[in-house]
Structure 1
Amino acid sequence: MSNPGAHNSNVIESFDQMVGILAAGARPRSEWRIGTEHEKFGFVKPDAAGPGRRAWSSPPYAPRGIEALLRDLAAEHGGTRWEEIIDRGALIGLKGRADAKGSSISLEPGGQFELSGAPLASLHQTEAEMAQHFSAIRPGCAELGLGFAPLGFHPTATRADIPWMPKSRYAIMRNYMPRVGALGLDMMLRTCTVQVNLDFGSEADMARKMRVSLALQPVATALFASSPFYEGRPNGFLSNRARVWTDTDNARAGMPLFFMRDGFSFARYVDWLLDVPMYFIMHNGEMVDVAGCSFRAWLDGTDLPGLPGVRPTIGDFEDHLTTAFPDVRLKQFLEMRGADAGSPAMMLAQSALWTGILYDDATLHAAEALVQEHAWEEYVALRAAVPRTGLETPWAGGTLRGLAARMIELATDGLRARALRDGAGHDETRYLAPLHEIATGGPTQAEAWLAAYHGRWQGDVTRIFAEAAV
């Protein structure tokens, strides 16, 4: 989840101002970029275990934990690469500068470490950024006896096992989540995702991309499933992370059907967002808990509890944008949010899949034709099925693997049309290689982990940490 940023204190005077915030994201094709965000679970290495430090357990914030790793990164290149982000005296993230400008490092509630990558022109640059990030955290991890593994759901820890990070918005969400869903605290503490953020050229282009990407998001969930374990054993799901999202907070999550229908627009998204319950506002430099209050009612003149006369600002709306969690989220770009975190190759493949489908006109047109073969309601129904059955979910007289294969072929066409080559002359299609293998019958990450559990691991799930470590 995002780090706190600058707050625009101008009072909202019209609905069109909020629409304009989203519309300002439209940019010419020459400026379209790829932003990849990925999360990973920390763990204590066995040789660093000791009093208060159990092997494979989640590291604390402090001492010798997440805070120390952030400080190690902040000191990188003499302190010129990262700016510290402080929340009530606690170091909770880093903002990139110099060659890291446009990127940030933030903490999820249970200490999941997230790189929000800079907007980059090619997947080759994304690959280099990801490799640089993993290289940068390794010295600090070695010093602290820590490792990191990107997986969709924590394979061994209970909720009580995972320490909470000292970030103000998480304290608010922690209190609110149990009121609106059974699994919200699991989402916060025990899930990791990878997402790619992609641009649009106009409102019409945004609506086309939303329609295609939201309909196909459950297929991505199945392709990238990497969370088949719950507290040390299989629990019947391939993406337990995706299952958690079905009972987290359905007022702000999921696949709203009207997103996919004709007429979807910036204004319709804002109108939906105004009825998403609030979490917090920033007031006099402090985060104030207003969880469950209505932004629409506040906008219409109703005072927030304990804040008489305080009116909503542009900054309040921008903060509220970050508290909606549909499977494809609209900000000044589109966020693809349906995939489990996984191996670096698979996380690159996730960015490649959506870049290929959405960034070439002919491919996007073909993808529109593909999704129109079925009713929108059928894609929404997939969301409930794929956490358990993945690519074997029945679809169109076969299984979802067939639809995944068609998606991957479209992405291949789109990346080939981009014709962006690395120093060795390879285009971006090479990043889809792991997906081609799955589409032709190979195991997903979850299926491979389950095979290891029933085979060479002999039922010891802790073996996953070393094998998944980056």
Structure 2
Amino acid sequence: MSIPQSGGGPIESYEQLAAYMEAGCKPAQDWRIGTEHEKFGYLTADLKPLPYEGAASVRAILEGLRDRFGWEPVMERDAIIGLQRDGANVSLEPGGQLELSGAPLLSVHETRAELESHLREVAEVADPMGVRFMGVGAAPIWSHEEMPVMPKGRYRLMTDYMGRVGTHGTQMMYRTCTVQVNLDYGSEADMVKKLRVALALQPVATALFASSPFFDGRVNGHKSWRSRIWRSLDASRTGMLPFAFEEGMGFQRYVDWVLDVPMYFVYRDGQYIDALGQSFRDFLKGELPALPGEKPTLSDWADHMTTVFPEARVKKYIEMRGADAGPLSHLVALPAFWVGLMYDGAALDAAWDLARDWSAETREGLRVAASVDGLQGEAGGVRLLDVAREAVAIAAAGLRARALAGEGFADEAGHLEVLAESVTSGRAVADLLLERFHGPWEGDLRRIYPEMSY
């Protein structure tokens, strides 16, 4: 999850909120790729989750990365909670999941190199401690009670709120991992088109990258339990944003939606102030109960924007949020998939043609079908495997049109090979894991740890 935002003076007019998003518009030559991925750390001796404190711990990993590889620490009081270096940062999810938020990069090749470098650094620090990290969408065995709690004030507030709103919020916080990519837009119209494609095709990404068929030590009946969790988390701040497909969609319409999402907190002087359920609209009027008489800054608005969790989220860029974490090949294929669809005009048009006639009911039906049945899902007469096959082909064409060679590839389309295999076989990671569980693993779910570790 996001670290506290900084910068930006007081909000003096309502129009500044949309202007904040509009400031993200960039010419195509300046578009970049920001990849984020989360992973579960565990102790190899007993397969327990990594605690925050101790000789083999989250804290020790962060301090080792700081001391050996030149990362600058991010502190909350006396606790190290993250790292920064060269435009990238390492942060912690509530249950100790380690997240790399990569620097804005030009190509998918650079994204792969960044990920490989990060995983090498983490392994050099973690291996001597008897610690490894694995990539799946949901913790397969650990119970909620086993999960450590990170020393971040934001998470204490959110844990309380999640326990009162929806039914799966704390599962999301403590026992899931994702991979996502952040992409730029050139104008308001470009943002709208990309957001619509991102939302409509997010179930395709969920199906292609599904890797969480286990939870609480057993088969859970879903290919992506992580996606299932998001469907019962908090309806006020999640979902497929039907309004984004309506006439008049733009920066201001998105702002209006975010304003109606209840607040979590306000960050002041290194502390999170409880504003649970309060209104940013009241904050704009100086009537926020948590800070009576005080008006927000643009950094407060930026913080509030990080507390909405739709399937695709807009800030000064668009975040694609529907995929489970997985093996390294999938951590690279996810940005390749969306860059191929979004960063070439012909590919973007073709991607929109796939989904433009779908109703809101079909889009939501596909979201449910992707979490339950993965690539075998369907809704409204639309089969996810058919759409995935076309979407992967469109993405490959978009990447070939970018004509960026590197990492031994003639262009970036080579990073989609693992997805091409999935749409040919009709199987995602979840399907392969289930086959192993019922086959060579003989029901021993502990076998997933070494198989899915980096």
TM-score, normalised by the number of residues in structure 1: 0.94
Aligned partners of 1:105 and 1:116 also within 8 Å? yes
Trace 1:328-367 onto structure 2 (pairs within 5 A): 328-367=312-351
Corresponding residue number in structure 2 for 1:95: 84
Aligned partners of 2:362 and 2:380 also within 8 Å? no
Gaps of 5+ in 2: none
TM-aligned CA distance change 1:373 to 1:108, over 3 Å: same
Aligned partners of 1:95 and 1:103 also within 8 Å? yes
SS of 1:335's partner is: strand
- Aligned sequence identity (%): 46
Task: Report the alpha carbon displacement of residue 284 of structure 1 after superposing the two structures with TM.
Answer: 3.9
Trace 1:280-319 onto structure 2 (pairs within 5 A): 280-305=265-290, 307-319=291-303
Corresponding residue number in structure 2 for 1:6: 6
Corresponding residue number in structure 2 for 1:132: 117
Alignment of 1:447 with 2:431, yes or no, is yes
Question: Residues of 1 paired with 2:279 and 2:309: CA distance?
Answer: 17
Listed one character per residue, the Cα deviations across residues 267-310 of structure 1 (whole Å, up to 9, x for unaligned) are: 111111111110110234422011110111221342323x3211
Question: Residues of 2 paired with 1:112 and 1:58: CA distance?
Answer: 9
Q: Find 1:266's aligned residue among 237, 243, 251.
A: 251
Structure 2 letter corresponding to 1:142 = D
Aligned partners of 2:341 and 2:351 also within 8 Å? yes
Structure 1 letter corresponding to 2:390 = R
Task: Report the alpha carbon displacement of residue 389 of structure 1 after superposing the two structures with TM.
Answer: 1.1
TM-aligned CA distance change 1:308 to 1:302, over 3 Å: closer
Structure 1 letter corresponding to 2:280 = F
Corresponding residue number in structure 1 for 2:19: 20
TM-aligned CA distance change 1:141 to 1:297, over 3 Å: same
Question: Residues of 2 paired with 1:161 and 1:263: CA distance?
Answer: 47
Aligned partners of 2:369 and 2:379 also within 8 Å? no
Alignment of 1:175 with 2:160, yes or no, is yes
Q: Which moved more, 1:81-90 or 1:236-245?
A: 81-90
Aligned partners of 1:348 and 1:431 also within 8 Å? yes
Runs of 4+ in 1 over 3 A off after TM superposition: 395-398
SS of 2:442's partner is: coil
Question: Residues of 1 paired with 2:172 and 2:87: CA distance?
Answer: 26
Corresponding residue number in structure 2 for 1:85: 74
TM-aligned CA distance change 1:95 to 1:423, over 3 Å: closer
TM-aligned CA distance change 1:396 to 1:303, over 3 Å: closer
Trace 1:26-425 onto structure 2 (pairs within 5 A): 26-46=25-45, 55-64=46-55, 65-77=57-69, 81-96=70-85, 101-305=86-290, 307-395=291-379, 397=381, 399-422=383-406, 424=408
Question: Residues of 2 paired with 1:461 and 1:67: CA distance?
Answer: 28
Question: Residues of 2 paired with 1:56 and 1:271: CA distance?
Answer: 45
Question: Residues of 1 paired with 2:309 and 2:247: CA distance?
Answer: 22
Aligned partners of 1:210 and 1:260 also within 8 Å? no
Structure 1 letter corresponding to 2:77 = R
Listed one character per residue, the Cα deviations across residues 432-461 of structure 1 (whole Å, up to 9, x for unaligned) are: 101111111242100100011001111111
Structure 2 letter corresponding to 1:129 = E
Aligned partners of 1:328 and 1:336 also within 8 Å? yes
Q: Find 1:459's aligned residue among 438, 443, 446.
A: 443
Q: Which moved more, 1:199-208 or 1:389-398?
A: 389-398
Aligned partners of 1:356 and 1:415 also within 8 Å? yes
Q: Tell me the matched-pair count.
A: 453
SS of 1:339's partner is: strand
Aligned partners of 1:257 and 1:377 also within 8 Å? no
Structure 1 letter corresponding to 2:428 = T
Aligned partners of 1:211 and 1:261 also within 8 Å? no
Task: Report the alpha carbon displacement of residue 109 of structure 1 after superposing the two structures with TM.
Answer: 0.2
SS of 2:200's partner is: helix
Aligned partners of 1:214 and 1:260 also within 8 Å? no
Question: Residues of 2 paired with 1:338 and 1:199: CA distance?
Answer: 18
Listed one character per residue, the Cα deviations across residues 224-257 of structure 1 (whole Å, up to 9, x for unaligned) are: 1000001111011110000000111111111110
Question: Residues of 1 paired with 2:94 and 2:238: CA distance?
Answer: 18
SS of 1:291's partner is: coil
Question: Residues of 2 paired with 1:235 and 1:343: CA distance?
Answer: 21
Task: Report the alpha carbon displacement of residue 384 of structure 1 after superposing the two structures with TM.
Answer: 2.0
Aligned partners of 2:39 and 2:133 also within 8 Å? yes
Question: Residues of 1 paired with 2:409 and 2:324: CA distance?
Answer: 30
Question: Residues of 1 paired with 2:268 and 2:18: CA distance?
Answer: 23
Question: Residues of 1 paired with 2:387 and 2:43: CA distance?
Answer: 40
Listed one character per residue, the Cα deviations across residues 358-410 of structure 1 (whole Å, up to 9, x for unaligned) are: 00001111111111132233112211222111111125656310010010011
TM-score, normalised by the number of residues in structure 2: 0.97
SS of 2:163's partner is: helix
Question: Residues of 1 paired with 2:406 and 2:448: CA distance?
Answer: 33
Question: Residues of 2 paired with 1:153 and 1:76: CA distance?
Answer: 30
Corresponding residue number in structure 2 for 1:52: none
Question: Residues of 2 paired with 1:227 and 1:414: CA distance?
Answer: 29
